[in-house]
Structure 1
Amino acid sequence: MTQPKALVVRGGWEGHRPVEATELFIPFLERNGYAVRVEESTEIYADAAELAGTDLVVQCVTMSQITAEQVAGLGAAVAAGTGFTGWHGGVVDSFRASSDYLLMVGGQFATHPGKEPGERHGGPEDNFLPHPVNFTDLGREHPVTSGIEDFDLVTEQYWVLHDALIDVLATTTHPVRAWQPWHRPVTSPAIWTRRWGAGRIVVTTPGHSLDVLEHPSVRTVIERGMVWATRTASA
């Protein structure tokens, strides 16, 4: 059996600790037989030959910019069967100016609501709210999430703009709060998959900090998602 090739692409906003975060998962890939290549920029996405031989792309690049050539190369590779996955802002808050990237991923970070204004002190904890992650009926049966029970987190709760082509495995609900302008609870996808041509995409929105990535349920979802998205798994 041919050894699967994984490409880890990291960078962008340092607040999401792209190096440390991806280093949590590289040993998992190596233990499972992947040859892992790490790139510190998205320039590799324009290398069609390299991506054609890549079975899985793991991306952790928050915000930042991407060229039209790079996003076209990534999109073509995924459509041809390369898997694509990532977590939190490293995948749904990437390349805000690229509509083509947004179309491929199927969801875009909009906000993470904060605490009551009087409880804010100017740090990242201002946006850390207790919230549940609830699995859908599909999520309870899907290979990425089956057997994992609903769980609670105290971290950023992502509000995601999304389309109907995603297959939602888990959701999180933003309640009505007196200091916020919305008038009814809003349920947002927290974990989803997406078929894009011959490729598989897995997005996990929890993952703001290393402790969240090390949460047993979050880590299991990300690791299973890597395997499920890989080209050889979807062939």
Structure 2
Amino acid sequence: MTNALVVRGGWEGHRPVEATELFLPFLADNGFEVRIADSAAIYADGPVMAETDLIVQCVTMSSIEPEALAGLRSAVAAGTGFTGWHGGIADSFRASSDYLQLVGGQFATHPGKDPAARTGDETDNFLAHTVEFTALGREHPITSGLDDFALTTEQYWVLHDHLIDVLATTTHPVQPWHPWHRPITSPAIWTRQWGEGRIVVTTPGHSLDILEDRTVRTVIERGMLWASRTASAS
């Protein structure tokens, strides 16, 4: 039996329970025995982590205790896969630099609409944009065969390092109401090898409808299978 640990919590705006529930049938159908935790504290449980083949995390912001973070890092280095989407993995535990190093990319912002078009709700940050696959992405098992795709949702601006393997990017254009002066290209989907473990980050996923987009969902589901210890060991 392959074991998956779904860790969810943090900011409720990303609907951590409902969002992770979308993927539980997929995990079960692919032979995973799923355990659900509502706190990152479970990462400090050595026996649980030792038998976990895949972690699916959906915890936006929040905080993590040193023992839990050490347990997460050790588990991934030993071969446990680690994946998630949007703020549930790329905007988790902002105060923990060791977590940021593990993931390799951190949410910085999601630029907004023209101020004259804003209405005061979350759609002020919903922009039409394209996610484009890189040359690596067009060949990678997670993203091969997929076409560039358009979304209208939050477009993540990500700070990142060069240890990530970028499968797809998105470009933030210059707009008169923003202070930057040239287009900025950010990674939108990436993988990372950390010790024996595989990490997959998919930045789209602000809301349930985006998670149900055919391409977004395909990437997340393929990423779960690719990151799992059983896949990385084969």
SS state at 1:38 partner: strand
Deviations 1:171-200 (A, max 9, x none): 000000000000000000000000000000
Tell me what 1:33 maps to.
31
Deviations 1:152-182 (A, max 9, x none): 0000000000000000000000000000000
Deviations 1:127-167 (A, max 9, x none): 00000000000000000000000000000000000000000
RMSD: 0.3
Deviations 1:74-96 (A, max 9, x none): 00000000000000000000000
Q: 1:141 aligns with which of 136, 139, 142?
A: 139
CA deviation after TM superposition for structure 1 residue 48, in Å: 1.1
Q: Which runs of 5+ in 2 are unaligned?
A: none
Matches within 5 A, 1:117-136: 117-136=115-134
Matches within 5 A, 1:176-215: 176-215=174-213
Deviations 1:102-121 (A, max 9, x none): 00000000000000001111
Q: 2:106 aligns with which of 100, 105, 108?
A: 108
Q: 1:18 aligns with which of 16, 19, 43?
A: 16
| Alignment partner of 1:69 is 2:88 | no
Q: Which runs of 5+ in 1 are unaligned?
A: none
Tell me what 2:83 maps to.
85
SS state at 1:137 partner: coil
Tell me what 1:221 maps to.
219
Structure 1 segments of 4+ aligned residues over 4 angstroms from their partners: none
CA deviation after TM superposition for structure 1 residue 214, in Å: 0.1
SS state at 2:41 partner: helix
Counterpart CA distance in 1 for 2:23 and 2:172 is 29
| Alignment partner of 1:160 is 2:164 | no
* Alignment-mate amino acid for residue 79 of structure 1: A
SS state at 1:69 partner: helix
Counterpart CA distance in 1 for 2:44 and 2:17 is 22
Counterpart CA distance in 2 for 1:218 and 1:31 is 19
Counterpart CA distance in 1 for 2:31 and 2:184 is 41
Tell me what 2:168 maps to.
170
Counterpart CA distance in 2 for 1:7 and 1:234 is 17
Counterpart CA distance in 1 for 2:53 and 2:37 is 15
